[in-house]
Amino acid sequence: MNHSPETRRVDIYAGIHKALRAMMMDTLHAVGSVDVEDAAELHAVCGRVLGLADACASHLGHENDFVHSLLEEYGNGPCWEVAQDHREHLVAIAELRALVATLRAACRGAAQAAAAQALYRQLALFIADNFVHMHTEEVEHNQMLWARCSDDELRALEGRIVAAIAPAEHLETLRWMVPAMAPAERAQVLAGVRAHAPASAFAAAFYNAPA
Ligand SMILES: [Fe+2]
């Protein structure tokens, strides 16, 4: 494969990582600013942390199943830090779910405020670690993928990942991904949805931005 340095290669991480970064930052802000005296708001914020935990676990699974297995087929496998991060992130995700359960079970007042603060701090550390992790994937793994795969092969890989994602999860991802993207990227993603998904899915992706 001969790609000039000026040629932009297919980047399978760019869009989904923008979505995850946006979702993480917004969720952290929601946890940090939650009014623990407001039961409905607290319930909604706990639900958002669990939603982020589910999204992160699912994303990690897709990377393991499709990207890391492809790198293994080429004989290298994922880089050590990334594979280790994935194992540690599953533990961290379980800890976040436990902290949400603790917050929901806490009595009102000081105990609830302390539980919210504990969740906020742990979520911030998890997000900080994920930001470094995603950067490593975008630099190290992309170099490995670009050295071994053509752009058509990378588009096919992306297609296999998208096909494995349930429609509801796909819509939730687009809800964060589309507003987080640069206009040209946004237009490309929406054109793809329009070409390959039902009109109702396109309308949902187009209008369903984060509240
Ligand atoms: Fe990852």
Cβ contact 71:78 at 8 Å: yes
| Total residues belonging to the chain | 211
- Residue 107: CB atoms within 10 A of its CB come to 8
Distance (Å) from CA 12 to ligand 1 centroid: 12
E strand or H helix that includes residue 30:
helix 14-32
Distance (Å) from CA 128 to ligand 1 centroid: 13
Q: Give the type of residue at 91.
A: V
Distance (Å) from CA 63 to ligand 1 centroid: 6
pLDDT digits (tens, 9 = 90+) for 152-208: 999 999 999 999 998 889 889 999 999 999 999 999 999 988 887 777 777 777 776
What's the whole-model pTM score?
Answer: 0.90
Query: Is the pLDDT confidence value at 6 over 60?
Result: no
For residue 78, the Cα-to-chain-centroid distance in whole angstroms is 18
Copy the structure tokens of residue 69: 């297995």
Query: Is the pLDDT confidence value at 2 over 70?
Result: no
Question: Across residues 48-77, what is the average pLDDT?
Answer: 93
Cβ contact 70:63 at 8 Å: no
